[in-house]
Amino acid sequence: MTPRVFILYALLCIIWGTTWLALKISLNYIPPIFGLGLRFTISSIILWPILLRKKPKINRSSTAMKVYLSFSLLSFVAAYSLTYWGAQFIYSSLASIIWALLPIFVSIIAHFMLPSEPLTLRRFGGGLFGLAGVAFILSSNGGGKEVQMIGVLAIFLAVVLASGPNVYLKKHHKIVNPLHVNVIAQTIAAIVLIPLSFLLEKPMTTIWNSTSIITLVYLAIFGTVITWTIYFWLYNHISVNQISTLGLVPPVFASIIGWIFLGETYGYELFIGGALVLLGVYLIHSRQVPGREGI
């Protein structure tokens, strides 16, 4: 990993770790789907002039269109909507830990779609550790388990849905420009989410004040424009498994920030469960000993 890649990778981890705080705060003022739609709308408005300035020749092949649509509809629309909605019911740190499962599902899907990245026995065992970690965290909630379970299941499903587009993009990253994927996918998401919010929510109940505006702008610029531009750029420089480990570090920042600013308190179950998740991710991406290949 070159210094430039490492710096951008680290920056991405730090910013995404802080976005959980901004998201949790924004949900107190803006309905989830409407807030998400606004986030992608603002981001798209910022990104389009950058794209057009480069006078792009956008790939309109059927494969490229599938890349744009899969990332937009499955990741930005479906997965993000479920994450926003589910985050209303659980701690921001727990939501980020569940997203740490992303490398597990990416590894499983990559096994079937990317011959160069097979699912080994070590990675399979890592997946079991990760799932056990989430189950352990859920077992600790006591009387609030029913409400927490709703949020957990929503975000767990979001992680599963987001895994496929990540692998599919890596499979075809040579035929699509990262900036094009970013701008087009976010634009489609904004077009879908804003009308959807008026069907499922009451956007007019949004409370506009300095806090809601600051968190929305932060999520749009730092959490979307900057992070996703870096994210898509990384596809041309590191493997899909390395990219998916971006779910590993943000939970650490999210937990610390949630404890400091949101007063989130944790029992030992969260730390043990989180450790199991991180151990699972480590096993998935640690170097396999030559001659000991698994599945």
Please report the pLDDT score of residue 138 as a whole number.
61
Check residues 258 and 69 and name the one with the higher pLDDT.
Answer: 69
Please report the pLDDT score of residue 6 as a whole number.
83
Domain residue spans of the chain: 3-285
What would the pLDDT profile of 157-186 be if each residue is shown by its tens digit? 999 999 999 889 888 888 998 889 999 999
State the first-to-last Cα distance of the chain, in angstroms, to the nearest integer. Answer: 27
* Vertex 151 angle, CA 230 and 274, to 5°: 65
Please report the pLDDT score of residue 212 as a whole number.
97
Buried-exposed string 158-176: b where 16+ CB fall within 10 A, e elsewhere: bbbbbbbbbbbbbebbeeb
Please report the pLDDT score of residue 141 as a whole number.
52
Six token digits for residue 226 = 């900057």
**pLDDT tops 50 at residue 51:** yes
Please report the pLDDT score of residue 266 as a whole number.
66
| pLDDT > 70: percent of the chain | 87
What would the pLDDT profile of 221-278 be if each residue is shown by its tens digit? 999 999 999 988 887 787 776 676 676 677 767 777 877 888 877 677 777 877 887 7
Q: Could you tell me the pLDDT band of residue 292, with boundaries at 50, 70 and 90?
A: very low
Please tell me the pTM assigned to this model.
Answer: 0.84
Distance in angstroms (rounded) separating the CA atoms of residues 92 and 101 = 15
- DSSP secondary structure string, the chain? --HHHHHHHHHHHHHHHHHHHHHHHHTTTS-HHHHHHHHHHHHHHHHHHHHHHT------SHHHHHHHHIIIIIIIIIIHHHHHHHTTTS-HHHHHHHHTTHHHHHHHHHHHH-TTS---HHHHHHHHHHHHHHHHHHTT-GGGHHHHHHHHHHHHHHHHHHHHHHHHHHHTTTTS-HHHHHHHHHHHHHHHHHHHHHHHS-GGG---SHHHHHHHHHHHIIIIIIHHHHHHHHTTTS-HHHHHGGGTSHHHHHHHHHHHHS-----HHHHHHHHHHHHHHHHHHSPPPTT----
